[in-house]
Amino acid sequence: DAKTTQPNSMESNEEEPVHLPCNHSTISGTDYIHWYRQLPSQGPEYVIHGLTSNVNNRMASLAIAEDRKSSTLILHRATLRDAAVYYCILRARLAGGTSYGKLTFGQGTILTVHP
């Protein structure tokens, strides 16, 4: 399975943009890039996902490099509630099919937001 590499930790100030990088140099053509975050004492929650094109939703934006070997999660204006562990995940296809199955997490990036 393709792996992801993220910085262990990052810091930001409130109301500033945050760019969380992820390297996935062994990504295959059918792997989707997913981002989840885990707030303290909670299970992970979905943030965003994409395949090739950049994606936006109400929580964040996902910028995917043209060669797909890296991606960046962008929080446009960090708030104290965004302090969490952010996970970049590659979701692979089930063998022999067109469906997608398991999510394999890495260690994630601990984001600290300062007031």
Partner 1 sequence: DVKVTQSSRYLVKRTGEKVFLECVQDMDHENMFWYRQDPGLGLRLIYFSYDVKMKEKGDIPEGYSVSREKKERFSLILESASTNQTSMYLCASSMIRVNTEAFFGQGTRLTVV
Burial of 10 by CB count in 10 Å (0-12 exposed, 13-18 middle, 19+ buried)? Answer: middle
Closest CA to 107 of 31, 44, 26: 44
What backbone torsions phi and psi does residue 41 show, to the nearest 5 degrees?
65, 20
By CB under 8 A, residue 104 contacts partner 1: yes
From 16-24, 62-70, 71-79, 95-103, give the range in contact with partner 1 by CB under 8 A. Answer: 95-103
From 17-25, 41-49, 62-70, 73-81, give the range in contact with partner 1 by CB under 8 A. Answer: 41-49
Give Cβ neighbours of residue 42 (< 8 Å, ≥ 6 apart).
none
From 10-18, 35-43, 61-69, 70-78, give the range in contact with partner 1 by CB under 8 A. Answer: 35-43
By CB under 8 A, residue 13 contacts partner 1: no
- Which residues lie near partner 1 (CB under 8 A)? 32, 34, 36, 42-46, 49, 85, 87, 91, 94, 99-108
